[in-house]
Structure 1
């Protein structure tokens, strides 16, 4: 029984490490609010649409729980998203794109997003590699712009 519990525990740890490896995390030089503001501005400068902003910390506060600053921005460009969905319609479950801005307990601010190459592993996007590469470049640029101080 103990061997089974150890095996299951090891499998859960491996799965969580694998999921974490699919995320790209960039430390911001700005405070939390500046990072969110710069991210939104950079998205708009790129000509993309912000579909939603989710303030997870505010949600926690509404139920009398604490969560350090944590905001997700959902955005995209239908022209690009449509190209990806034409390769595999199920990739739509991952769209629009998302970036998460968090502040840890040491007051460091992070911009986190999913590595687009992880999408290629889960969906049949072999015909969309050029589009996926452009998405990766744009996400990297957005995180960089949001995280750089003036």
Structure 2
């Protein structure tokens, strides 16, 4: 039993760095709502479609619970997502793209999303798929606009 727990702990610890590499995290100088407004505007200006904006803190409030400001933007561009789904329809589990913006317990605002490279291993996509690079660049550019000083 102890050996199984040690093995399980080792697997958990070994997996932690991989999981951490799958997330891209940036800090924003703006509050959550402003960061999310800027992201939504950048997405729309780039010609992508915003499917939903989820205010998790408002949902918590409706359930008579507290949650620091936390919002999720769900968006995509079929010109990038469709080729990925043509290669592996299970990619539809991870698309459209999602970006989470939240305030931590110190009030610092974080912007976080899953790295598109994760799709390659999670769904068996070709490692040289051009759409992965385009998704990566798009997310980097859009989130940079969200947290920019201008």
- TM > 0.5 between the two? yes
Match of 2:119 in 1: 119
Match of 2:71 in 1: 71
State the distance in 2 between where 1:31 and 1:56 align: 15
Give me the TM-score of the superposition, normalised by structure 2.
0.91
Judged with a 3 Å threshold, the aligned counterparts in structure 2 of structure 1 residues 7 and 124 are, in CA distance, closer, same or farther, namely closer
State the distance in 1 between where 2:55 and 2:138 align: 23
Judged with a 3 Å threshold, the aligned counterparts in structure 2 of structure 1 residues 128 and 96 are, in CA distance, closer, same or farther, namely farther
> 1:100·1:113 contact (CA, 8 Å) conserved in 2?
yes
Any unmatched runs of 5+ in structure 1? none
Match of 1:44 in 2: 44
Match of 1:141 in 2: 141
State the distance in 2 between where 1:8 and 1:55 align: 35
State the distance in 1 between where 2:52 and 2:114 align: 17
Match of 1:32 in 2: 32
> 2:80·2:134 contact (CA, 8 Å) conserved in 1?
no
Any unmatched runs of 5+ in structure 2? none
Give me the TM-score of the superposition, normalised by structure 1.
0.91
Q: Alpha-carbon deviation of 1:54?
A: 1.1
Please report the RMSD computed on the Cα atoms of aligned residues, expressed in angstroms.
1.7
How many equivalent residue pairs?
150
Deviates more, 1:62-71 or 1:123-132: 123-132
